[in-house]
Structure formats: C-alpha cells, structure tokens
Amino acid sequence: MKPKFSIIIPLYNKAPYIRKALESVHAQTFTAWECIIVNDGSTDNSIERIRGLEDERIRVISQTNMGVAAARNNGVAASTGEYICFLDADDWWEPEFLAEIDKLIAAYPDAGIFATNYIYFKPGKTHVALNMPTGYIDYPKAYLENGSMPITSITACMPRRVFEQMGGFPNGIKLGEDFLLWAKTALHYPVAFSSQPLAYYNNAVPASQRATRNLYRPAKHMLFHMDELEQAALANPHAETWKALFDRLRVNGLMDYWLSSEYHDAAAAELAKVQNGKEAYDQPIWWLKFLRFSLKLGSLCKQVVLGIRGLEG
C-alpha cells in the first residue's frame, strides 16, 4: 500500500543535525509515511550519523552535488505518496506534525499547500513565528503582516498533482527556490494553515552553513527571478498585496547587491521595479557601506561575547 505522505529531506553536510531531524520523522503519530533522504554529495559523515535508525519506510538516494532544489525534486520523483512534505536536515518536527497536516487536508481539501505554524529555535531563546488563526490564509498579506515566511521548507505539504503541475522547485536557484514555488502555487490555489507550532526552524546553525549569508550570483537568487510571478499576480484579486510583497522583498534583500561593484547594476534594475519603500537606497554608497560594516561588526562582537559566556558557563 502506498504511503499517504512522502517526506523529502535534502542532505548536504549536516552531520550534527540529520539524526535529530530523522528521529522526529520516526516519532510521528501518523505512521502512513515514507521518507526519502537525498544525499546531495555530502563530504562529511552525514550518512553515518543516521545508521541505527533503519526503517523500511526510510530510503536514501545519492546524487552529485546539484543543490537543494534538484535534491528535493529528485526526492519527489523517487517517492510514491499522494502528498509531499518537506523537512530540512537541520530542523525537526513535533510528533503530531503529520497528524495535523492530515486534519488540514480533511478540512480544506481544495488547498494547494498545507502548512503549520513553526518555532524559531535558539538555545535559551525561542519564539513562535506566526500569529494567525487556523484556516485559509491570504499568502502575501500573511507574509507582510507577520514579517516571517508563512510557508517554509519545513512546514509545507503539497498534493503530488499540484507539485507536478507547478513544475517543482526551480533548479539552479540557491536561495529562495522554495518561495518561488510557494508563491506560484498560492497564485493558483488556496493555502491552508494550522496555528499549531509543530516544526522547529533551527537558528542555532552556524552562519557559515546558512544559505542566507551568501552573496549568490543573481542567476541563483530568487530576487532576480520574480518577474513571472509579478506578471501572474496582476490578474489576482489581491494584486496590490502581491506587489507590496515583491517590493518589500526586493528592498530588504538587495542592499548587499547594491553595494557590490560586481552586482550593483543588476540590483539597480530590480529596484527600478519597486514602487514604494526604497528611500534607503537614496543615500550615498559610502555611507551605506559604513552602516553595513557597522552592523556586521556589531553582530560579530555579539557572537564573540556569547561564545565567551558559553565557555565560561
């Protein structure tokens, strides 16, 4: 019998975390699942870390390093479930996660994405990401009002037919590939959300291992690939809200590109599409670079202090 849920975990050099992620899958109270771990060319001992958790519902497939989008797509292609769930190798679920998704499917069967609330986790400092009731959500409005992603790659579940119709994750995109899929889907289907925080987004992962800290070439960053979405949103009943979201993402995410001599022109082309909120970019480049340096220096000093306190503790 086919499992109801296929869980896709892309894995690239996450040895310290993958076991906890997989243990959280194994602990699910809803048991009709399979889990596909896609080893995306890991060079550490990630695979060795999951030994001892053998289960006929868990499979590992391997590929040369092709990136997280290709890893997830290949995992879906190898899976058999009617619904596709995603979990990153450094995050984890509460045992009731799949059961809650199953309830959402029963209550909102026409949705194209089902997702739960989640928790930002850091030792000694956690908080629930979203303040929204259970039910259908207006995706761009929820994003704008909460300041956090209403759908993430650790909380999302999609019917297989919808995933395939949307074309999966855009291969080659290194940052924001998940947003592009969620937004595209939300433009075509309702989005169902549970207010229960049943996933943990691990903010304790070192900055060096976070995709958000890298200055990827524009071809690999979602901010330079939103034109198709923006065009499709013009026909949406919430077109103004979608436009406001695209504008905010560009304004918040393009500063490092604006300050880069290599990518300044590409950032300028994207900022030219913004209608409101780009006043910060009107300041002199030298001043913006100084402010950016000060912020990064302050963040580094904070990390050093916290590290020293941790050693003393």
235 & 187 share domain:
no
- How is residue 274 annotated by DSSP? -
CATH number at residue 35: 3.90.550.10
198 & 232 share domain:
no
297 & 222 share domain:
yes
- Tell me which of 162, 182, 212 is where a domain ends: 212
226 & 178 share domain:
no
pLDDT for the residue 79: 98
168 & 229 share domain:
no
208 & 231 share domain:
no
Tokens 């912020």, located at residue:
295
155 & 64 share domain:
yes
72 & 98 share domain:
yes
Q: What is the pLDDT of residues 4-60, one digit of tens each?
A: 999 999 999 999 999 999 999 999 999 999 999 999 999 999 989 988 777 899 999
166 & 245 share domain:
no
Residue 253 in this model has a pLDDT that exceeds 60: yes
Average pLDDT over residues 69-89: 98
266 & 158 share domain:
no
What pLDDT band is residue 305 in, cutting at 50, 70 and 90? Answer: low
pLDDT for the residue 165: 98
- Tell me which of 212, 235, 264 is where a domain ends: 212
Cβ proximity of 63 and 74 under 8 Å:
yes
Average pLDDT over residues 95-121: 98
Q: What is the pLDDT of residues 229-246, one digit of tens each?
A: 999 999 999 999 999 999
For the residues of 115-164, what is the DSSP string, one character each? EEEEEEEETTEEEES----SEEE-HHHHHHHHSS-SS-TTTEEEEHHHHH
Residue 88 in this model has a pLDDT that exceeds 80: yes
- Give how many domains the chain has, as a whole number: 2
Q: What is the pLDDT of residues 134-179, one digit of tens each?
A: 999 999 999 999 999 999 999 999 999 999 999 999 999 999 999 9
pTM of the model: 0.91
What pLDDT band is residue 288 in, cutting at 50, 70 and 90? Answer: confident
123 & 246 share domain:
no
Q: What domain range is 13 assigned to?
A: 5-212
182 & 276 share domain:
no
Q: What is the pLDDT of residues 116-127, one digit of tens each?
A: 999 999 888 899
Q: What angle do CA 269, 273, 279 make, to 5 degrees?
A: 90
- Tell me which of 212, 233, 257 is where a domain ends: 212
